[in-house]
Structure 1
Amino acid sequence: MLNPRFAFSVSLPISHMAPPRILLSGDVLGRLNPLFKRVQSVNKSAGPFDALFCVGQFFPDSTELLDEFMDYIDGLSPVPLPTYFTGDYGFGAPKVLSVASKNSANQGFKMDGIKICDNLFWLRGSGKFEFHGLSVAYLSGRQSSDGGQFGMYSQNDVDALRALAEEPGIVDLFLTNEWPSGVTGGAASSDIPPALSDSSGSDSMISELVAEIKPRYHIAGSRGVFYAREPYSNVDAVHVTRFLGLASVGNKDKQKFIHAISPTPTSTMSAADLSAKPPNTTISPYMLAGQTNVPKEATKRSIEDASDSQYWRYDVSKKRQKHGAGDVDKLCFKFISSGSCPRGERCYFQHDVDAREQYLRGVCLDFIIKGNCEKGPYCNFKHKLQDKDDSHSLRRPRSESVNRSKECWFCLSSPNVESHLIISIGENFYCALPKGPLVQDHGLIIPIEHLPNTFSVPTECDTELCRFQNSLKMYYKRQGKEAVFFEWVSKRSTHANLQVVPIPSTKACGLEKLFTLASEKLGFKFVAGKVGSGSDGRKFLRTEFDKNFSFFYVELPDGTILFHMLEENKKFPSQFGREVLAGLLNIADRADWRNCTVGKEDETKMAEDFKKRFEVFDPNK
């Protein structure tokens, strides 16, 4: 999943025109026998249903239920209908999910679920996909856990989900393990279960996400109680959101652990139906966060009244102040990202025109608002304020280039550069290992100058780039491997890096077909060119490259170059090349670089070992 969590979505075919019929379940805790017995009963009396979505812990909470659980995983007991789960933790989870991740059938883009066994799918990390016309988004796992790589979500998962949420369209279903903090705020007190009197077991990050995503339905588990909150209105959206918290399967209190819905996909609804509000609609509970002594009548308001609240994301200097306090140190996220704000002059945060201009020039929103970005070199946006005539030309004054590169992890002059990963330094380029390499000897060829792509380097510098490429090819050839080069070019790129991945020579013949199939899955076609030497390849690419468009290309061992050009505002998975090669090598679990990171000590050893083996081929020795 983009996640690998990347900002694109996949679709499942719409099998019929009627609204899909969905079953929802809370924490399963490995109790698959009672769950599926109930599912079959409901399916027989009120079905048929199209799918079961399980939130909360899916795996057993004790070893006693492992045998029952594994009977389904091993195919001894059938899963009665397509079942999707987010709670990837508990006994047996690491083993089962590790095997599924490495299965070649799960290679590539699996935002619609990684297959565990027949009819059972794991929604890993975060993602968004379509199911029978419904737009489904999810955040899997908990914010923190002792479960290693499984059972917890990262900031990268959150960032990817935010990027997905910014795509056009309304999310119909949002699935999370944890409950959002404050969801009971503004609700009728008589409807709130006593077990929810305190906020323990809730997640404030979920609250932020759901306020941004504004799904029509939000389903969560993990609190062990059933709670169907009154619909609430959303800021800057006409539709309401319905929250459902589900109890655990087979709970002693006989609370509801399975629930059926049949929502009409947003894409087929009329404007009137979408904006309809039940009489008991309340204000969004997330608008009330941090406020106390709110009159009950103030919570029963329409979306028009709700628009009086600021929709914002970042707090620059200190905790957010209450309405009316104002804070000149805070910038209005809505204004910067969209150019407008529903509050207008009544907004308590700055409508900074200069910040908006920087955003339009491709500067990272986190960098503009917070002054830093945690993604570092893996962020697709710039981490330096841009001049109006910023053309990334090598002709700009040296002092300006130095200032612009201080925050960049790839600039040799930056205090943040990962110098222990560097293999060889030339006049215009250097070679280094990446963070989280896909395979051993996975390398990067990087311009020394702070430039967004390798085509921004003067043409005469291509000779040195080709020397690096040829040296790496010879190095890999001695190991019985071939080199695959690829680069993703975008106006939002900060510092260029040409990736090179070695693959076994026996697998090279299937590369073009695999890349073609992957592109077709994403709805585009490659343009192919056949060239000879590396220098001919660079000349060919320069004739095809247009700085006004985004550009992905891959150079195959037989001299074939595949490239795809697209408009800058179009979505494209920045890790596309890596994911395809992970599929080819049957290491789908390594498609996401975050699954492959090691400590600095191990990275240093990897780089030193590479340098020793590469020394005889190094063009700079």
Structure 2
Amino acid sequence: MASSNGSVKILTVGSAVGSIRELFAKVKAIDAKHGKFDLLLCAGDFFGPLTEDDSVDDEVSQLLEGRIEGVLPLDDVVAKIKPRYHFAAAGGRPPKFWEREPFVWDGEDARISRFISLGAFGNEPATGKKQRWFYAFSIAPISATTAPAPKPANATKNPFMAGVAKNASKRSLEEAAENFIWGAIKQPTKRSKIGQLFRYCCTMLGSQASRCESTEHFISDCPERQKPPENYVCKICGTPGHFVRDCPTRDAVGDTGGKKPKPGYVCRACGSENHYLEDCLVAHQQRGAQSEHRGRRGPPKEISTDECWFCLSNPNLAKHLIVSIGSECYVTLAKGQIIPTHSEDYTAQVPGGGHILIVPITHYPTFSTIPSDIAKPILDETESYKTALRSFFAKHGAATVLFEVGRLSAKGGHAHVQAIPVPLKLKDKVEETFLKEGSQMGIDFESDPDAALESCQGGRGSYFRVDLPDGRKMVHLMKDHVPFSIQFGRQVLVSLLDMPDRFDWKACLLSEDDDRADAQAFKAAFSPFDPSL
């Protein structure tokens, strides 16, 4: 049954591969814990491979087993229906979980699509971790009065529009004919005598376009020439009804005077759709301010998920520091954590040190940029981990300080929250220390932190957030063109703990063996509080 706001709660699962009873038993458990769900969608291979006893004719058998490959016009179907969610469950052998960055369709509702490839429920992998095989989300119907959802900060070009443009780049027979007979090239100022002799409107032999057979004009002036074939799509604007040469946006300019971008393009520096990065005033100002440090370099390269420090798909991620993995987030010890764990002069209160990062599994620049229709489970699990850490630290005689650097940048970051245990005797000095260190750096905090965070929703601004031990929040709104140190939170904590030598995380790095020992110690002690268990 739909909720009061009209949204429908949906659970999507990957390939069952014949393990149908086991799948539904697991679904029942998920529904009891996270439901109730209104709808279950099963993607991929439901029944599994055929056995020798299956009596199916040979061609059907070959098709089901993948020995006959059919080309289905799925891209055409997707382009027509513009789904908000597109699931697949056969990506890789065995299937892998992968969530693509969202992309936006043209149109008044600026519909946002998300593609998710699910792992398989059946067929446990021989080696490695089992891939995530389910995905839960809520979705509400779109009506004529529904306001367009804010564009995600990590939205990419629409791959289906790119496919249309790619296909449209091939010249049709008609276009080839027009280029051959004064069509899309600059015509000479004088007609040759041969041209006057053959003043006859026609198209090249074999063209699908009509011809009027008039002797009153050349083909370049023919009214029929202005009508493209039925399936022709302009490669500039991606719409039918006119040729490239007649496109109304062919010479359009952006809001800064440069060339207007194609649909789906988003400037990495400011998030605008109306100019390219090289024409962005914000990017130019940033490069101008940093030129003496960076020299004559081009615009910053956007970080991909394979290069992101916090994306699980990065082969260089320090996975040995991960201490918990939930459905939406994972928890890891910080590299070069503030708390000394292998020092003769200091004994950590919390096993393994306790400097923790809570990281959403899916790549988003900040928590405020997570789309509203899928944000709830991510935010709920983040809060569950925060609560668990507070209880865990309290057991070991420590208070909890959490902070988040929610900064939007041209390169793009990955949202995360840092948690640090501090002695109980210092918990009342946390706010004072943040205010003191902030005043020295021109960092002020808002009187209404909740309103400040709301003003940044949908990627509308950058912020720095602190969760104090007593549950109150402190929020600083970052200002355009005013530098903000991403190490500010660490700077305050090392000042509070009187550990100035722990400011540079690189100077605090440990060997992998020591890191593993810390992770194991923390994981064992935290397990009674771990919400993922």
TM tier relative to shorter chain: 0.3 to 0.5
Higher strand share: 1
Task: Report the TM-score when normalising by structure 1.
Answer: 0.34
* Structure number, greater radius of gyration: 2
